Amino acid sequence: MRTISADISDILAHYQTQVNERLEAFFDKKIKEASRISNYTQEVAVNAKEYTLRGGKRLRPIFCIYGYKCLSDNNLEAIIEASISLELMQSYLLIHDDIMDEDELRRGKPTFHIVCKAMCERHFGTNKALEFGENIAIVVGDLLEAYGEELLVNSQFKSEYVKKAVAKYAEIIKNVGYGQILDIIAERKGRITEDEILTIHKLKTASYTIEGPLHIGALLAGAREGDLQVLSNYGVPLGLAFQIQDDILGLFGSEEKTGKPVGSDIREGKKTLLILHALERCKGEEKEILLKALGSQHVTTEEIDTIRDIVRKTGSFDYSKKLVREMTDKAVQAIKDSDFRSEAKDFLINIADFIGKREY
Amino acid sequence: MRTISADISDILAHYQTQVNERLEAFFDKKIKEASRISNYTQEVAVNAKEYTLRGGKRLRPIFCIYGYKCLSDNNLEAIIEASISLELMQSYLLIHDDIMDEDELRRGKPTFHIVCKAMCERHFGTNKALEFGENIAIVVGDLLEAYGEELLVNSQFKSEYVKKAVAKYAEIIKNVGYGQILDIIAERKGRITEDEILTIHKLKTASYTIEGPLHIGALLAGAREGDLQVLSNYGVPLGLAFQIQDDILGLFGSEEKTGKPVGSDIREGKKTLLILHALERCKGEEKEILLKALGSQHVTTEEIDTIRDIVRKTGSFDYSKKLVREMTDKAVQAIKDSDFRSEAKDFLINIADFIGKREY
């Protein structure tokens, strides 16, 4: 076990470096492009580079690279280059998300609209600076989407393959959009069912973090319908496992490892599967504590401890852990049964294991 | 002259119908797609259809169709279908624009975020309804971009051609994005030069209304670099002429024909080329009147009349008219010198004439 996990960390670290180097080079070209228009567009592009490069596990590009490796090993340079389109998409979606959620921190630093708010204050004063920041951030999200599309469509594969990959790219954005609408509405309704949560996870996390990137990589290697189906059988359950594990880490993980304050989902009033399951199974005082804490900015460490107890006592912790295990097993089985290249199979099996057990 | 203008109106009406029919069919498919996810996503898709179909001259798809016709007449059905991607882009950009400008009316009806605000009020009450409306509208803008991309990449032309058309599609969005950043910043700075205005027009109007759509159509017919250059020599000056004529109509046109309240640019404080030129050439009381009116919601009809007089007296009206004429002539000359198909040449020459003289 130790070796496998060491291996996977090495592989991840290797491709993280590769992806980051290419992202850096890509943004440097864009900064040049933007500088030809004006100092301000240049400044915005510099900010977009900092934002994209300030962190992240680069899981999406890596899944894209291994989607390609399932079928081919011929043009690694080109697939790594193409894979960064997924990180551009990620920045684009995070920027728009943070505006909608009015979040001020992302990866430990100001969210993009807050960065642009500061830009406004520096150049033009504080009047309506937040509005300025949000408006620039909407446009920069749109710009990054176009950057990603441009990069992908110009990738060095057969035109026929590229066409299919771009269609998939648009499909992912569509899925995330539909999922986001459901998310916004669920928040307003104040109630949500387990089925609805799973639908949102499927549309947002599974499609966009694992299945979609795998498909794009595979399509660039000339994948057929059957290949895509196998990758869906792997990517959808693993995507769900990834999200549920995220929810578990949000409450039980260590702030040091996750980089997120423990209990931030609770403070945001997010009804994760973990919390919903507990809510449906507790009553009296415990239910009151849980409901009171959800969405409250003033939740104490003691209250978080109590909530952890409730989540354990109601069996929600075990239930979620079991779901993660079952989904991960399902994903692994789909890959084992496939006839993909063995290097890719090994990686996909190991990363599934890694995701199921990850602590960050 | 009478015949030409009758001809062009017939051609425009013909393709408007064709484009609208296809848009309708496209949205019906998307409504079905969205209905499989939830009633809410369906409702949002229905609203997006109404918004896109409520009006518009469909100039962008028509330029795309004629970009294709410059080189080929082989697959009209497919080019009309592909051309509606530009109308989807247009809806996407208008929705995001209206959020940024906090506008409440578009084509005589509520802007998209106001439509979604009403959706919130109907289902969930008035609390934070505007915020809900803006958030859904950001996502729907993103969705429409993905719809357009999906439609274009699935169009029935050679993969190699489609690839280039999609790259152009991304380039247009990029240009509009850069232009929009300049626009937001110019508004904050409160001052702008004639050069800066022209740069914004080039990035926003010219690229996105005329040159870009022509390029996409031509690329789908297999255009080469030289063909694109000719279309740029036509599209860029004509795009500028289109915008300046827009500014003129905004102050001197009839509300009945343009559908926009006369002087709305003045009320919004928009420094058009027409106004900037006048501002630089008047002084004393006249300058005061002009500066006071810019951005004021309470401008009277009398004040608009006075501003018209100032714009005439300073020669700005004639200067702008002359620019429109010169730019239109330049565009026409570029097409006359080309070896494109004669049907397309005729249309492009006539539409340039039409744009230069249009009253709406």
Whether B7 maps to a domain, the answer reads yes
Contact B139 A177 (CB under 8 A): yes
Cβ density class B238-265: b for 16+ within 10 Å, e for less: bbbbbbbbbbbbbbbbeeeebebebbbb
Q: Which residue has the higher pLDDT, A255 or A240?
A: A240
Positive or negative, the CA dihedral A151, A86, A200, A326 is positive
Whether A354 maps to a domain, the answer reads yes
The answer to whether residues A140 and A260 belong to one domain is: no
In this predicted structure, the answer to whether residue A52 has a pLDDT above a threshold of 80 is yes
CB B266 within 8 A of CB B299: yes
Could you tell me the residue range of the domain that residue B23 belongs to?
A: 1-158
Nearest by CB to B145, from A132, A140, A145: name it.
A145
Confidence of residue A1 (pLDDT cuts 50, 70, 90): very low
A275 to each of A269, A303, A315, A316, how far by Cα in Å? 10, 14, 11, 8
End-to-end CA distance of chain A: 18
Pair type for strands A109-110 and B105-106:
unpaired
Supply the pLDDT for residue B7: 85
The answer to whether residues A268 and A140 belong to one domain is: no
Domain count, chain A: 2
In this predicted structure, the answer to whether residue B260 has a pLDDT above a threshold of 80 is no
Q: State pLDDT tens for residues B287-302.
A: 999 989 988 888 888 8
Contact B177 A143 (CB under 8 A): yes
pTM as predicted: 0.94
Q: State pLDDT tens for residues B300-327.
A: 888 899 999 999 999 999 999 999 999 9
Whether B17 maps to a domain, the answer reads yes
Range with the lowest mean pLDDT among A130-139, A278-287, B134-143?
A278-287
Residue A66: give its domain's CATH number.
1.10.600.10
In this predicted structure, the answer to whether residue B4 has a pLDDT above a threshold of 80 is no
Closest chain A residue to the Cα of B202, Cα to Cα: A37
Range with the lowest mean pLDDT among A252-256, A316-320, B37-41, B339-343?
A252-256
Whether B66 maps to a domain, the answer reads yes
Residues of A in Cβ contact (< 8 Å) with B119:
none
The tokens 């807050």 sit on which residue?
Answer: A114
Contact A132 B177 (CB under 8 A): no
Contact B146 A173 (CB under 8 A): yes
Distance of residue B146 Cα from the nearest chain A Cα, in angstroms: 5
Q: Which residue has the higher pLDDT, B71 or B186?
A: B71
Q: What mean pLDDT is predicted for residues B260-269? A: 80
The answer to whether residues A150 and A292 belong to one domain is: no
CA distance B140 to B176: 18
Residues of A in Cβ contact (< 8 Å) with B136:
181, 184
**Which tokens sit at A328?**
């991960």
CB A147 within 8 A of CB B174: yes
Q: State pLDDT tens for residues A110-126.
A: 999 999 999 999 999 99
Q: Which of A111, A135, A157 is the last residue of a domain?
A: A157
Reported for A116-122, long-range contacts at CB under 8 A and 24+ positions apart, including other chains, are: A116/A44, A116/A47, A116/A140, A119/A43, A119/A44, A119/A47, A120/B188
The answer to whether residues A7 and A137 belong to one domain is: yes
Q: Which of A133, A157, A181 is the last residue of a domain?
A: A157
Question: What Rg do the C-alpha atoms of chain B give, in angstroms?
Answer: 21
Distance of residue B28 Cα from the nearest chain A Cα, in angstroms: 16
**Which tokens sit at A306?**
């109590």
Q: State pLDDT tens for residues B127-170.
A: 999 999 999 999 999 999 999 999 999 999 999 999 999 999 99
The answer to whether residues A139 and A4 belong to one domain is: yes
Q: Which of A157, A178, A213 is the last residue of a domain?
A: A157
CA distance A21 to A33: 19
CA distance A98 to A83: 24
Whether A206 maps to a domain, the answer reads no
Q: State pLDDT tens for residues A140-195.
A: 999 999 999 999 999 999 999 999 999 999 999 999 999 999 999 998 888 889 89
Residues of A in Cβ contact (< 8 Å) with B167:
150, 153-154
Whether A15 maps to a domain, the answer reads yes
pLDDT > 70 fraction of chain A, expressed in percent and rounded: 97
In this predicted structure, the answer to whether residue B208 has a pLDDT above a threshold of 60 is yes
Contact B135 A100 (CB under 8 A): yes
Whether B12 maps to a domain, the answer reads yes
In this predicted structure, the answer to whether residue B206 has a pLDDT above a threshold of 90 is no
Whether B11 maps to a domain, the answer reads yes
**Which tokens sit at B181?**
């950043």
The answer to whether residues A17 and A134 belong to one domain is: yes
Range with the lowest mean pLDDT among A263-272, A282-291, A348-357?
A263-272
CB B79 within 8 A of CB B68: yes
Confidence of residue A105 (pLDDT cuts 50, 70, 90): confident
Nearest by CB to B143, from A160, A174, A184: name it.
A174
In this predicted structure, the answer to whether residue A256 has a pLDDT above a threshold of 80 is no
Contact B136 A181 (CB under 8 A): yes
Provide the H-helix boundaries in chain B: 2-35, 39-53, 59-69, 76-101, 112-124, 129-153, 159-189, 194-201, 212-220, 225-252, 255-258, 264-268, 273-281, 284-293, 301-313, 316-336, 342-357
In this predicted structure, the answer to whether residue B1 has a pLDDT above a threshold of 70 is no
